[in-house]
Structure 1
Amino acid sequence: MRGIGEVAKASGLAVSALRFYDGAGVLVPASVDPVTGYRWYSDAQVRAARLIAGLRRVGLPVAEIAAAVREMDEPDAVRRRLHRHRRRLEDGLADAQRELLRIHALLDLEEKLMTRITLPAAALAASLDAVRFAAAAEPDGLLPAVLFDAGDSLLTLAATDRYRLAVAELPAAIEGPPVRLSLPLAFVDGVRALPGEITLDLTGEGVRAESGGAVVEGKPLAVDFPDYRRLTRRTTEPVARVTVDTQRLREMVQAAPVAKREHDGSAYDLVIFGLDPEGSVRVATESEWSAERHVAVNREFLLQALDAGGAGQLLLELDGPIQPLAVRVPGGSRFSILMPVRND
C-alpha cells in the first residue's frame, strides 16, 4: 500500500487533487485509517492516478475521467473516449480561430467606419422588389434611391417618390457600426441580379456588393431621405383593417370605373374604393368619394403595391378619404403606404 503523499509524487497529482477525486468518487482510496483519516492506495490505483493526471491536463470533464478510470481494463474503450475528446478540442479550436478572425474583421471594419452585411441573394432580391417600385424614377426624381438602414441584425429597405412609401425588413448578419445610406437605383438593380450569398460593404464614401466573384460598386447619394419610421408610426388604430385576397383585389381594381386626374401636366387614373356595410372592400364611384370609409389612390401605384405584396393575402388599413392607405403583408415584414388623392 502507498500513502497519499507517495501517490501524489508518483502520479503528478497534488494531494489536494487526490482528496478531490476521492470526494468525487473517481479514485477512492483502498483503505482509510479510522483514527487518523490517512488515505492508502493500492499499486493499481497509482496507475489510475497517473491516468487521471493526464486526462486532467487535457481538460477531460470529471464525469468522463471517472468513466475512463472504470474502463482502464478496456484500453480500446479509453482510446475511443480520448479520440472523441480530441475531436471536441479540434472543433473548439476551429471555432475559436473563426471567432478570432471575425473579431479582427470587426476591428478592421470599425477602423474604416465600414459596415458589412451578409445575406442570401434571393432574400435581398425579394425585399428589393418589394420597395423598388416606389422609388422616384431617374434622373428627374427627387429620391432615385433605396434607403439601406442596417443595425441589430436587421436590414430595413425603404423607397419613396413622396407620393408613396414602401418598406421591407429582413434579417441579416451585420458587422460594424449601424449605417443609413441612400443607394442609387443603378447599384440596387445590379445587386438584384447577383446569385448565391451576397456580401455588402457600406461606407459613406462608397458601396460594394460581391457574390461568387461578381462585384457591383456604387456611391451613396447625398439626399435627405424622409424619416420613414415617423411616417409609418401609428398613434391611433385605423378606421378599418381588412384582410383581402391579392388576386381578387387586383381584378376588382382592374375592372373598376376609371376616374381621371392630372398632376404637373401628367394625367393618371384613380381608383376609389372603401367598405360595404358588411365590412368587405368594394370599388366605389366618384359620387361616393366623400364617404367616411372611402379613399382614392393612383390606380397604377396601387397595382404596383399589390404586385410587390406578392400572392396570397394582404392587409389593407383605411383611414378615410384624406389619410394614406396602407397595404401590408401579414406579419409586418413588408408594407406600402399610398398617399390619397384629395377630392378638391
Structure 2
Amino acid sequence: MRSIGEMARDSGLGVSALRFYDRAGVLVPAWVDPESGYRWYEPEQLEEARLLAGLRRAGMPLADIRLVLAGWAGADADLVRGLLQAHLRRLEAGLSDARREFSTLRAPLDHRESPMTSSRPASVRLTVPAAELAAALDAVRFAAGGDPELPMLGGVLFDIEGDGLRVVATDRYRMAVAHTGTDGHDGPRVQVVVPTPLVDAMRALLGGAEPVRLGVDGDRVTLEAGDRETAGQSLGHDFPDYRRLVSLPAGRRALVDVAGFRKALETGPVRAGEVREQDGVPCDLSVLGIADGGTVTVRDDGDDDQNRVAVNREFLLQALAAGARDELIVEFGAPTAPLAIRRPDDEETFSILMPVRLED
C-alpha cells in the first residue's frame, strides 16, 4: 500500500488535498490507522488520484469531479465523456466571454496609451553612492520577472525623482522596492526599465567606495565606476505604476528573528507541490499566522483559521535574504491581502508577496 506522502508525490496532489478529498468522500483511503490516523492507499487508487489532479487543474467543480470518479470506477465511459464535454463547453464559453470583454477594452486602452519617451529627457546624469546602489539592487533583484509574455517585467525600474532613486522589480507574484540617495539631478521625474542582464553587469561594478555615475540618454543607460563602464539599451516598455500596488491596507505586524524564522520555514509544516495562480508551476506553500503575542508561526495547513496567509515558501525565503537584516517586520492582514517584509530601520526598502488561496 502507498502512504499518503507517496501518494502525494506520485499523483500531483498535495497531502492536504488528499486529506480534503478524503473528508469530502471523493478519494477515500483504503485503510486509516485507528491509532495514528495515518492514511494508506491501494496501488490502483493512484490512477484515480492522477485523474483527480488533472480534473482539478482543469478547474472542474467538485460535484462534477465526484461523478467523473464514480463513472471511472464503474467503467461508465458515456457518463465520463459527457461530464468532460460539458465542462469543456463551459470553459470555451467563458473564454469567448473573456475575448468579448477584452475586445471592448482595446479602444479605451489605445486612447490612454502614452509613449514611454514622455518620461525620458534627452540626457540625465547623476552620481549615486556605490554601496547604497549595490544594496538597493540586492534588495530587489530576486523579484524581477522572466516571463517572455511580459517583457516589461524583465528588468528593474530605475525611478529618479528629486534627490532620490527608487529601484523596483516585480514578476506579478512578488514586488520589491528599495531607495538610495543621488546627487546631480534636479529636473523632472525620470523612469527607465533596465534589463536584468544590464542590472547584473551594473552590480558587478559596485564594489568600490567611490560614488558611481549613472547616465540615461534616450534609450541608453550607462553606469561608470572609476575607469570601468557598462551600458546597454533600456526596455522599451511601460512599467506598472508600483506606487498604486504597494499601498496596502494596515495589517498585523510582528518583528521576527530572521535566522529563527528561516529555520521554522525550512523545517516546519509545508503544503507541498501545490499548483495555484502562480503560472501553474508547482510550489511549496508555507501557511503563516500571527499569535496573540505578536509571534509569527508556521502553521499546519489543516488549521481552518481565517487569520492565516499562505505564500510561496521559496519566494518568502528569498525575500528574507534580500531584506539583509537580522530582524525584519512581517506584516499581513486578510488571507487575500499581500504579505509585506519590511526593514525596521528603513521603511522605503521592502518587498511584498502575493498570497496563494487555500481552497481545500
TM-score range, shorter chain: 0.5 to 0.7
Within 5 A, what are the aligned runs for 1:22-33? none
Counterpart for residue 228 of structure 2: 214
CA change 1:117–1:292 in 2 (3 A) is: farther
Cα contact 2:214–2:224 (8 A) shared by 1: yes
Counterpart for residue 87 of structure 2: none
Give the number of the structure whose alpha-carbon radius of gyration is greater: 1
Cα contact 1:154–1:172 (8 A) shared by 2: yes
Counterpart for residue 282 of structure 1: 297
Within 5 A, what are the aligned runs for 1:172-191? 172-175=182-185, 176-191=187-202
- Deviation (angstroms), 1:316: 1.0
Deviations 1:181-223 (A, max 9, x none): 1110111001101143210101332111111111111111122
Within 5 A, what are the aligned runs for 1:158-177? 158-175=168-185, 176-177=187-188
Which 10-residue stretch deviates more, 258-267 or 129-138? 258-267
TM-score, scaled to structure 1:
0.64
Q: Which amino acid aligns with 1:178?
A: R
| C-alpha RMSD of the superposition | 1.9
Counterpart for residue 125 of structure 1: 134
CA change 1:224–1:205 in 2 (3 A) is: closer
User: Could you tell me how far apart the structure 2 residues matched to 1:226 and 1:186 are?
Assistant: 20
Q: Which amino acid aligns with 1:119?
A: V
User: Could you tell me how far apart the structure 2 residues matched to 1:259 and 1:112 are?
Assistant: 49
User: Could you tell me how far apart the structure 1 residues matched to 2:271 and 2:133 are?
Assistant: 36
Q: Which amino acid aligns with 1:283?
A: V
Deviations 1:122-175 (A, max 9, x none): 211111000000001375654110000001101000000000000001111142
Structure number with higher relative contact order (C-alpha < 8 Å, ≥ 6 residues apart): 2
Q: Paired residues, what number?
A: 231
Secondary structure in 2 aligned to 1:201?
strand
Q: Which amino acid aligns with 2:163?
A: S
Gaps of 5+ in 1: 1-110
Q: Which amino acid aligns with 2:354?
A: M
User: Could you tell me how far apart the structure 1 residues matched to 2:262 and 2:311 are?
Assistant: 14
| Identical-pair percentage | 44
Q: Which amino acid aligns with 1:181?
A: V
Q: Which amino acid aligns with 2:275?
A: E
TM-score, scaled to structure 2:
0.61
Q: Does 2:227 correspond to 1:227?
A: no
CA change 1:177–1:203 in 2 (3 A) is: farther
Gaps of 5+ in 2: 1-119
Secondary structure in 1 aligned to 2:269?
coil
Cα contact 2:254–2:290 (8 A) shared by 1: no
CA change 1:332–1:112 in 2 (3 A) is: closer
